[in-house]
Structure 1
């Protein structure tokens, strides 16, 4: 990869490996080394969560001006002589994480698609695929870092189980497999209720943090809106993409932190 960058040979590489083999580590390490040579690197990913794992990451739709819904006449929204265009011109290396999931940021899904349509949507069907040099990672570095003489066999068995799932060899045949294993909730309200209940089972001191809700003021009807939409009412709103008014934290309770990916 470094040879391709230094010679400006215009190569494409596909780094393949199951979870824990070190793909993100290699991408970050390569990015650091290339930047040390005064070369511009663009890091992007298929989704917001993935972009948090790579240094300087942005989601591909934001970085390359991609449409969320792609169709036959879709084009890039990057304008000539814009900062984004200049960045692409100067870049010598583009690292795009999770490329097989670029089809709507998830694995290929086609509405009422046939088997042929689904296969055609995969990255292997792209005309660019035959130009890619495929490199494979086999060793699970994440598990090896925690390996000891006592749990070595258990870690090896777990690693092989992951590979069987990836290869479609560990399919679930028992109808009751997910019984007492999964919890499905249809609304945010029920999710919050469930989270509060599970949190109550942990005997630790609870810290509660409140959001600050207020109406955006306008000259036309700010006083009327203030009477209708009180702060107490705003605190009760729970919709998709909006965190609850109360943030309850305890030791032992998992919390996911997400930053705003649209930095501009």
Structure 2
């Protein structure tokens, strides 16, 4: 199982939509995929059709709590099945309390890694939708991951926050997870009609040459509606530009393991 963390400490960059769309895209290519909602707001859980995440049990918080207290986790415990073919480990507000608990836990950065190891034989991919912060849960996700995908909105401030995230990833690679790589940066909410968006996209591609996915996710009303319609972009607008962009991104992600090592990002060095 390859585990990918989708991370950006800046909120509102299309991270959750990208996590869901990429996971469903991989599923459509015949891959067995587990989505992990690692945000106490439960946006991914709601997006996939569970509008009251606080009523769900068990969730990611409960299962990580079991790992902390050395209790066994049973097969398929807490995992929900979505009609698109992906599975979901949901989250709710209890995750906020767990983050406080993690501070004093033994091996606190590796709790999520231990949890995901219990299902690694059943999936081809696990995608972790990280919360928009660089706290203990995000460190857990980065410690559990084989690689990171960084969604970045083609605006000045979200792009400016890239360096802080990259420093965090580099620190996790040095201290906690030597295998961690950066698969790449994916530009989201790109408005090709504006000079500003085009300019920032070009700046990011120049600054991180070879480390930005070719696929750009366009700004799309349909993509924004995914979160309220409880449908994937492939069902909501199968012939639209956003669906095509996510299909292209899916192909790029599938090709990563088939390409020479030099294609992989050395941003973590």
When the two structures are superposed, what TM-score results if normalisation uses the length of structure 1?
Answer: 0.33
When the two structures are superposed, what TM-score results if normalisation uses the length of structure 2?
Answer: 0.33
Select the structure that is richer in helix.
2
Asked which structure has the greater RCO (Cα within 8 Å, sep 6+), the reply is 2
